[in-house]
Amino acid sequence: MYLKKYLTEGLIQVAILLSLSGTRVDVGLEPGLLSPLHEMMLGPSAGITQTQFHNLWNHLEDGQPSHPKNVDLDGFTSRRLLGLVRSLDRLQVPNTELEAWLVHRVPDMLPGEHHGQPAPLERAHVRLEEDIAGPGLDPGDILRIQGENETGRDVHTEGGELDESPRPLSEWSQGSAWSNRSQQEETHRRVLSDHQMYSNSLDEEEGEMGDGAEEEEDQEEEPASRSGRERERRDSVSDRESAQNDEEQESLSLQECLRLLEHTFPLTHQPSEEILPAIGGAVDHEYLSAERGPLLSPLFPSEQPPLDLELQWEDLLEIMEPHGLDVSTRFPSYQDGPVQTPLDAAILSNYQSNSNSRNDNQMIYQDVHLMEAALPLGTISLHHPETRLLPLTPSTELDQHNMSLNLSEALENMDVNSSPRTPYHTNLISGDPLDDLNMGVDVEYGYTAFDMNPLTQDPEDNLITDNTSLGDPSNFDINFYPNDFTLASLTPQELSGANPNLPILPLSHLLVDDEEEGDYGLAGPLGDLLEDATILDEMSLLDLALEEGFSPEMAARLEEEGYLVPEQANRNTGPYDTVMPDNEEDDGGTSWSRMAQGSSRTLRQESGEKADSDSGLSLDCSFSPASPCGSESSCYSSSSSSSSSSSSVSSEGGLYSEENDQEDEEGEINLDMELEVTIKQEEEEGAVGGYYSSDVNKMVPSSYQEEKLFNGLPWQEHIGHDHSYNQAWPSTPTSVTGKTSKKKSKYSSRQSRTKSYSRSSAEQFVEAELWNRDDRRAQSLKIPFSNELIINLPVDDFNELLANHRLNEQQLNLVRDIRRRGKNKMAAQNCRRRKLGALQGLEVDVSGLRRRRAWLRREKQEALKSLQEMEQRLEGLYQEVMFSLRDEEGRPLDATDYALQFGANGSVTVTPRRQGTLPRGDSKAGKKHRDKK
DNA sequence: CGCTGCTGTCATGAG
DNA sequence: CGCTCATGACAGCAG
DSSP A45-56: S-TTSSS-HHHH
- Whether pLDDT at A808 is above 70: yes
The reply to whether A774 has its C-beta less than 7 Å from any atom of strand B is yes
Smallest CA–C1' distance to B10, residue: A739
Residue A101 and residue A299: Cα distance in Å, rounded? 10
The verdict on residue A554 lying in a domain is no
Domain membership of residue A829 (yes or no) is yes
A143-144/A908-912 β-pairing: antiparallel
Dist CA A388 CA A209 (whole Å): 29
Closest by Cα among A118, A57, A122, A133 to A88: A57
Q: Name which of A775, A920, A723, A886 is nearest A241 in CA terms.
A: A886
- Which protein residue lies nearest to nucleotide C13, measured between its Cα and the C1' atom? A724
| Each residue's pLDDT tens digit, A404-456 | 333 333 333 333 333 333 333 333 333 333 333 333 333 333 333 333 333 33
Confidence (pLDDT) at A871: 93
pLDDT in tens, A271-327: 333 333 333 333 333 333 333 333 333 333 333 333 334 434 444 343 333 333 333
Asked whether residue A821 is domain-assigned, the answer is yes
Nucleotide showing the shortest C1' distance to residue A820 CA? C4
- Residue A322 CA and nucleotide B7 C1' are separated, in Å, by 39
Q: Which among A636, A643, A572, A569 is positioned nearest to A603, based on CA atoms?
A: A643
Strand nucleotide closest to residue A754 (CA to C1'):
C13
Which residues of the protein have their beta carbon within 7 Å of strand C?
Answer: A 67, 69-72, 74, 624-626, 652-653, 723-724, 747, 750-751, 753, 795, 798, 816, 819-820, 823-824, 827-828, 830-831, 834-835
Q: Where are the alpha helices (DSSP H) in A805-913?
A: 809-884
Q: Is the distance from CB of A455 to CB of A447 less than 8 angstroms?
A: yes
Query: Given its phi and psi angles, is residue A686 left (phi above 0), alpha (psi -120 to 50 degrees) or beta?
Result: left
pLDDT band at A898 (very low <50, low <70, confident <90, very high): confident
Question: Could you say which residues 717-736 of protein chain A have a Cβ atom less than 7 A away from any atom in strand B?
Answer: 717-725
Total structural domains in chain A? 1
CA distance A196 to A220: 14
C-alpha–C-alpha distance, residues A880 and A883, integer Å: 5
Strand B and A743 CB separated by under 7 Å? yes
Which nucleotide's C1' atom has the smallest distance to the CA of A796? C3
Stretch A382-403: mean pLDDT: 35
Q: What is the pLDDT of residue A317?
A: 41
CA closest to C1' of B9 belongs to: A821
Tell me how far apart the alpha carbons of residues A710 and A766 are, in angstroms, rounded to a whole number: 27
Contact A172, A181 (CB under 8 A): yes
CA nearest to nucleotide B15 C1': residue: A68
Residues 53-82 of A with CB under 7 A from strand B: 68
- Domain-located, residue A718: yes
Structural domain boundaries, residue A777 = 567-833
- Under 8 Å between Cβ of A626 and A690: no
Query: Between the CA of A826 and the C1' of C4, what is the distance in angstroms?
Result: 12
Candidate from A335-344, A770-779, A895-904 with smallest mean pLDDT? A335-344
Residue A273 dihedral angles phi and psi, to the nearest 5°: -90, -15
Residue A133 and residue A251: Cα distance in Å, rounded?
30
- Interval A572-585 mean pLDDT: 33
CB of A615 within 7 Å of some strand B atom: yes
- Strand C: which bases are under 7 Å from protein Cβ? 3-9, 11-15
Which DSSP letter does residue A87 get? H
Work out the average pLDDT over A337-366.
Answer: 35
Q: Is the CB of A739 under 7 A from strand B?
A: yes
- Exposed e or buried b for every residue in A548-574, given b needs 16+ CB within 10 A? ebbbbebbbbbbeeebbbebbebbbbe
CA of A726 to C1' of C8 (A): 26
Average pLDDT over residues A526-544: 40
What pLDDT does residue A772 have?
A: 62
Helix (H, G, I), strand (E, B) or coil at A901: strand
How far apart are the two ends of chain A, measured CA to CA in Å?
47
CA at A72, C1' at C9: how many angstroms apart?
A: 14
Parallel, antiparallel or unpaired: strands A898-902 and A908-912: antiparallel
- Give me the pLDDT at residue A21, please: 52
A830 CA, B14 C1': Å apart: 17
What does the pLDDT look like over A32-55, one tens digit per residue? 333 333 333 333 333 333 333 333
pLDDT for position A865: 96
Cα A431 vs. chain centroid, distance in angstroms? 28
The CA–C1' separation of A560 and B8, in angstroms, is 36
Burial-class residue A248 by CB neighbours within 10 Å (0-12, 13-18, 19+): middle
Length A618 CA → B12 C1' (Å): 24
Q: Which DSSP helix (H) or strand (E) runs through A749?
A: helix A739-758
Q: How many CB atoms lie within 10 A of CB A667?
A: 11
Q: Is A742 near strand B, with its CB below 7 A from some atom of it?
A: yes
In degrees rounded to 5, what are phi and psi of residue A325? -90, -35
Look at residue A779 in the predicted model and tell me its pLDDT.
72
Residue A372 reports pLDDT greater than 50 = no
CB-based contacts of A398: which residues, under 8 Å, 6+ apart?
A507
Q: Residues A133, A138, A143, A149: is their CA dihedral positive or negative? A: positive
Instruction: Quickly list DSSP for A282-313.
Output: T--HHHHSS--GGGGGGG-GGGS-HHHHHHHH
| Identity of the residue numbered A580 | M
Q: How far is the CA of A646 from the C1' of C9 (A)?
A: 30
A746: Cβ under 7 Å from strand B?
yes
Residues 101-140 of chain A in contact with strand B via CB under 7 angstroms: none
Evaluate whether residue A335 is within a structural domain: no
CA of A121 to C1' of B8 (A): 70
Nucleotides of B under 7 A from a protein CB: 6-12, 14-15
Nearest nt by C1' to A67 Cα: C6
For residue A358, pLDDT over 60 is answered with no
The pLDDT value given to residue A796: 81
Of A770-779, A795-804, A897-906, the range with the lowest mean pLDDT is A770-779
A68 CA, C7 C1': separation in Å?
12
> pLDDT tens across A458-481, in order?
333 333 333 333 333 333 333 333
Q: Read off the pLDDT band of A904 (50, 70, 90).
A: confident
* CA A830 / C1′ B13 distance in Å: 18
Confidence band of A853 (pLDDT split at 50, 70, 90): very high
Distance in Å from B9's C1' to A744's CA comes to: 13
Å separating the CA of residue A438 from the C1' of nucleotide B8: 30
The β-bridge partners of A892 are A886
Q: Would A329 be classed as within a structural domain?
A: no
Of A263 and A208, which is predicted with more confidence? A263
Residue A749 lies in a domain: yes
Portion of chain A with pLDDT greater than 70, in percent:
15
Q: What average pLDDT does chain A have?
A: 43
Cross-strand pairs, A898 = A912
- The pLDDT tens digits of the residues spanning A126-182 come to 333 333 333 333 333 333 333 333 333 333 333 333 333 333 333 333 333 333 433
How many Å from the CA of A195 to C1' of C6? 38
Closest nucleotide C1' to the C-alpha of A717: B7
Cβ of residue A824 lies below 7 Å from strand B: yes
Q: Is the dihedral angle over the CA atoms A714, A715, A720, A722 positive or is it negative? A: positive
Q: What is the mean pLDDT of residues A317-346?
A: 34
d(CA A515, CA A452): 18
Which nucleotide is closest, CA of A720 to its C1'?
B7
C1' of B11 to CA of A634 (Å): 27
In whole angstroms, give the CA distance from residue A810 to residue A736: 9
- What percent of chain A is predicted at pLDDT more than 90? 3
Q: How far apart are CA A642 and CA A572, in angstroms?
A: 11
- Closest residue by C-alpha to C1' distance, nucleotide B5: A615
Going by pLDDT thresholds of 50, 70 and 90, the confidence category of residue A203 is very low
Q: H or E segment at A519?
A: helix A507-519
Please report whether residue A136 resides in a domain: no
A822 CB below 7 A from strand B atoms? yes
The Cα A713–Cα A614 span in angstroms is: 12
Query: How many whole angstroms from its chain centre is CA A605?
Result: 35
Distance A651 CA to C9 C1' (A): 24
Distance CA A922, CA A711 (A): 97
List the A28 CA – C10 C1' distance (angstroms): 42
A820 strand B contact, CB < 7 Å: yes
For residues A223 and A772, which has the higher predicted lDDT (pLDDT)?
Answer: A772
Buried b (16+ CB within 10 A) or exposed e, A614-628: bbbbbbbbbbbbebe
